[in-house]
Amino acid sequence: MLGWTLMFLVIAVIAGLFGFTGIAGAAAGIAKIIFFIFIVLLLISLVSNALRGKSPR
């Protein structure tokens, strides 16, 4: 999921350099949404593993 975020971020930067502001804004927005979903899923995973008593590998 983090790979998708980086891909959309790169698309946004390249589109911004070429002046495609609409595409750059959309790609940056998608990257931001995916990044926050990634953070939420990471936190849920960490909390669930902590509640189970398993230590991280």
For the cut 70, the answer to whether the pLDDT of residue 5 exceeds it is yes
- Asked if 31 and 9 touch (Cβ cutoff 8 Å), the reply is yes
Q: CB count, 10 Å around CB of 17?
A: 9
Residue 32 pLDDT: 87
Q: Where are the domains of the chain?
A: 2-52
Query: Count of CB atoms within 10 A of residue 8's CB?
Result: 20
Task: Output the pTM of the full model.
Answer: 0.66
Q: Is the confidence at residue 56, as pLDDT, over 70?
A: no
Would you state the pLDDT for residue 36?
92
pLDDT digits (tens, 9 = 90+) for 13-52: 888 888 888 888 888 888 888 889 989 988 998 888 888 8
